[in-house]
Structure 1
Amino acid sequence: MGSLTKSHLCFLVTFLFAIHVLHYISPLEANNHGGFSARLIRKNLPSRRSIFQPNIYNSGESPVNAYLGQYLMEVSIGTPPVTIQGIADTGSDLVWTQCVPCDNCYKQQKPLFNPKKSSTYSNIACTSQLCHKLDTGVCSPQKQCNYSYGYEDSSLTKGVLAQETLTLEQNRKVSGFIFGCGHNDKGGFNDHEMGIIGLGRGEVSLISQIGYNFGGKLFSMCLVPFGTDPSISSEIRFGSGSEVIGHGVDSTPLVFKEGDKTTYSVTLNGISVGHKFLPFSSSSQNVAKGNMFLDSGTPPTILPQDLYDRLVAEVRNQVKMEPIKDDPQLGNQLCYKTKTNLRGPMLTAHFFDHVNLQLSPIQTFIPPKDGVFCLAFTNTSSAVGVYGNFAQSNFWIGYDLEHQFISFKATDCTKH
């Protein structure tokens, strides 16, 4: 997920799913290293989407939507603390929630945050340097720092940039936390999503603002695969103790691009289908650095058209079944009809510095409805792609902004 105010890639990909699965973080748990961890617990909700057709854009970031596989992170703001559940999004920076008054907002089940009921709330003045930490901060007639943060699927939040007290585990508080108090919000949100928790690299993201309170700007997550029993939780860790270490860990460097302060960009050399290696680009031997970024707010992996076409052709060649044809609900997705889990080929994502991530069918084929399994990849005309959270499942993935790399460790996240 992310903002139009940034220069990196944004996509809208809508999917048809019979059951929409949301995640939220339960009360935070302390660890013994100064950081903290939390469980990501799934809820089964009726789907608000009925389309399995990608709608791809060429600039910006990935969208805010009621996708299967979103993760709702729970934090508290204000005094007294008010619980906020927002989409945990490594593709954007701003932390925001819907606030009173909110005359032009989407419906949410829980009450909106009311700044007047908090003794620690304060608007940021437009003359303050804090207003410029967000690119879209502008001066209102009341001399407040107004913001407008848009997403490529036309979702949008507008409001006032403010400061509040953020409450985390063991009642530890972070004062002066910068967040967006949304008074005009629209888009494809469902009524459990109270906003977005931006986990990007930018100055106003959650990790940038709280990192040094908990031992450094680093965090990690272990996501259970789609279809896992909802009683089994995922986990996310922040700060000291969140490092991904030990046997079987591979790391690839972050790539920093001019004008992009948000994304976790890495370099993908190519993808193997079984033993068949497909280079990232068929037209050049030189792989562009930072050609993919990891986005916890986008379920599918999104590839440039050339690589996507070659991947689909090779998967089709190796799956000894006839794909589904002429199903308008599935669009052009590569899908198969089977009563049991698809026995597709093993895919391997080859990242720079000899990082080879093996992806089983549970990470690469997703059932949009009973008896149907579809390749969990889609395409874009951009030269940059997105590594989505379907492919991220069953890995401990560590984001280390202190040492500027991302680490992967294959893990059965259902047993963690």
Structure 2
Amino acid sequence: MPSYLKSMSTFLCSLLLYSLCSTLTYSVELSGNNGDLTFDFFHRDSRHSPSYDPSTTRFQRLRHAVDRSLSRKSSLTALHSTSSTGAIVAPISLSGYEYLMKIKIGTPPVEQLAIADTGSDLTWTQCKPCKQCYNQTLPLFDPSHSSSYRPVSCRSHQCTASGSSPSCGRKNTCQYKVFYGDNSYSFGKLATETLTFDGGVSFPNFAFGCGRENGGTFSDTGSGIIGLGGGSISLINQLKKSIGGKFSYCLTSRDSNATSKISFGSSAVVAGPKVVSTPLVRNIPETFYYLTLEGLSVGTERFANAKLLSSLESSEGNIIIDSGTTLSFFPEEMYNWVEGALKDAVKGERVEDAQRIFGLCYKKGDGFRSPAITAHFKNADVVLAHDSIFVETEKGIVCLTLFPSEGLAIFGNLHQMNYRIGYDLEKRQIYFLPTHCSKPQ
């Protein structure tokens, strides 16, 4: 095994713990004017994030993102591999979440800054009284001060969908338990509340977790989790009647002064002469958004389709798109072909990555040039942004941001930047539109 793969393997860990995705469906009706449901959606390392540390260099922030990405990939693979048993791993290490979003819970509404993630379903926040809570910047949510808080019965559909082993508390109330791949956890009561977004758009009877015991590797920035996955208890499916199963986001580059945006409902429709679309494939677990990858191109050379099909797990639904994974991971055979093609095509001086994590690195300079890489999804060709393929990982050194994988293939957020990406769970399609995401939409 190459040395960089050995080094990479030291980052990969997963503990098989539990969360359940139910096939039951229910939804929350919109209260008030639906308006333009578009909100700020910012990276945890951006200047707009409360967790932004100006003392760290952009190279350190990138290294941390790579570490989180490798850890997340391991947990996502474990979830995918064990889903057929019915005991589903919570998908990611909490230090691996990448994007934050503001919501408000309760009546009167109380602001929460939560980690938004397409690889999770249950939305939860830390609550009073708390037996064991991690430190957070914002005040804890106190359900006793909200007139709209209602505990959920342990015989309800919501309780069944909230976890693999929900239990009954006093007065027949649903108790949830969520574990994550790095030993982080959240235990508490499942309840319904009024969910409010900026601008006063509110959704009553939203099922969420009121966490009374939470711990692990959470930072003090986030109050909890916003589940944007495909499961029935996710925000997207609970709000389905109002938003039509549609959401979209536009991720700015990491050094941009602008915030990324996330939209829901009619404002999430992605259209235009340059838009391409590919089917969302139903697969297990239903939390994930599965696409079909038919090939990769380096410049004008394309990885042969027959060879591709032998290297992926299946021809349909063979890759997931994930907002919380920074890097992109492809089957080892495909990655090796891409690396070989790049070695032949790239103009520049090869160097070793000092930490031996990245597989292909060059000196940055006037002589460095790289061809385009295109991901060929079914019916949709997506050209990776040139500055996302090779990224400066230390001063004067650029490295390839594609990685080999022996398991699950993942299309990460670094290669989604400067595309407006729309999810339509009703039509089972995902849309890509090249967009300067830092400009007003």
| Fold match by TM threshold 0.5 | yes
> Could you tell me which residue of structure 2 aligns to residue 161 of structure 1?
190
Q: Residues 167 and 118 of structure 1: is their aligned pair in 2 closer, same or farther, counting only changes over 3 Å? A: same
> Could you tell me which residue of structure 1 aligns to residue 403 of structure 2?
378
Q: Percent identity?
A: 36
Q: What is the CA distance between 1:33 and its match in structure 2?
A: 7.7
**Equivalent residues in 2 for 1:360-379, closer than 5 Å:** 360-379=385-404
The one of 79, 102, 105 equivalent to 2:133 is 105
Distance 2:17 2:431 in 1: 25
Q: Number of residues paired by the alignment? A: 383
> Could you tell me which residue of structure 2 aligns to residue 267 of structure 1?
292
> Could you tell me which residue of structure 2 aligns to residue 398 of structure 1?
422
Q: Residues 368 and 149 of structure 1: is their aligned pair in 2 closer, same or farther, counting only changes over 3 Å? A: farther
Once the two structures are superposed, residues 198-218 of structure 1 have per-residue CA deviations (whole angstroms, 9 ceiling, x without a partner) of: 11111111111123224x110
Once the two structures are superposed, residues 370-394 of structure 1 have per-residue CA deviations (whole angstroms, 9 ceiling, x without a partner) of: 3332222223321x31111111111
* Partner SS, residue 414 of structure 1: coil
* Partner SS, residue 80 of structure 1: coil
> Could you tell me which residue of structure 2 aligns to residue 225 of structure 1?
253
* Partner SS, residue 413 of structure 1: coil
* Partner SS, residue 282 of structure 1: helix
**Equivalent residues in 2 for 1:60-139, closer than 5 Å:** 60=79, 62-67=91-96, 70-139=98-167
Distance 1:224 1:130 in 2: 35
Q: Is the 8 A contact 2:40 2:101 kept in 1?
A: no
Q: Is the 8 A contact 1:226 1:366 kept in 2?
A: no
**Equivalent residues in 2 for 1:4-403, closer than 5 Å:** 4-5=18-19, 34-41=35-42, 43-44=46-47, 45-46=52-53, 52=66, 54-55=70-71, 56-57=74-75, 58-60=77-79, 62-67=91-96, 70-142=98-170, 143-214=172-243, 216-228=244-256, 230=257, 232-257=258-283, 259-279=284-304, 282=307, 284=309, 288-325=315-352, 327-328=354-355, 330-338=356-364, 343-353=369-379, 355-382=380-407, 384-403=408-427
Moved more, 318-327 or 292-301: 318-327
Q: Is the 8 A contact 2:330 2:403 kept in 1?
A: yes
More helix by share: 2
Q: Residues 138 and 363 of structure 1: is their aligned pair in 2 closer, same or farther, counting only changes over 3 Å? A: same
**Unpaired runs of 5+ in structure 1?**
8-31
Q: What is the CA distance between 1:141 and its match in structure 2?
A: 4.2
Q: What is the CA distance between 1:92 and its match in structure 2?
A: 1.4
More strand by share: 1
Q: What is the CA distance between 1:281 and its match in structure 2?
A: 7.1
Query: What amino acid sits opposite 1:217 in the alignment?
Result: G
* Partner SS, residue 309 of structure 1: helix
Residue 414 (1) aligns with residue 428 (2)? no
Q: Is the 8 A contact 1:6 1:262 kept in 2?
A: no
Q: Is the 8 A contact 2:348 2:368 kept in 1?
A: no
Once the two structures are superposed, residues 11-35 of structure 1 have per-residue CA deviations (whole angstroms, 9 ceiling, x without a partner) of: xxxxxxxxxxxxxxxxxxxxx9855
Distance 1:341 1:402 in 2: 48
Q: What is the CA distance between 1:93 and its match in structure 2?
A: 0.9
Query: What amino acid sits opposite 2:240 in the alignment?
Result: G
Query: What amino acid sits opposite 2:352 in the alignment?
Result: K
Once the two structures are superposed, residues 310-338 of structure 1 have per-residue CA deviations (whole angstroms, 9 ceiling, x without a partner) of: 2233323322333332623x424433342
Distance 2:178 2:305 in 1: 32
Once the two structures are superposed, residues 225-250 of structure 1 have per-residue CA deviations (whole angstroms, 9 ceiling, x without a partner) of: 2222x2x1221110013211120111
* Partner SS, residue 255 of structure 2: coil
Q: What is the CA distance between 1:62 and its match in structure 2?
A: 4.6
> Could you tell me which residue of structure 1 aligns to residue 82 of structure 2?
none
Q: Is the 8 A contact 1:305 1:380 kept in 2?
A: yes
Q: What is the CA distance between 1:284 and its match in structure 2?
A: 4.1
Q: What is the CA distance between 1:283 and its match in structure 2?
A: 6.7
Q: Residues 237 and 71 of structure 1: is their aligned pair in 2 closer, same or farther, counting only changes over 3 Å? A: same
Once the two structures are superposed, residues 349-372 of structure 1 have per-residue CA deviations (whole angstroms, 9 ceiling, x without a partner) of: 00012x111113222233334333
Query: What amino acid sits opposite 1:243 in the alignment?
Result: V
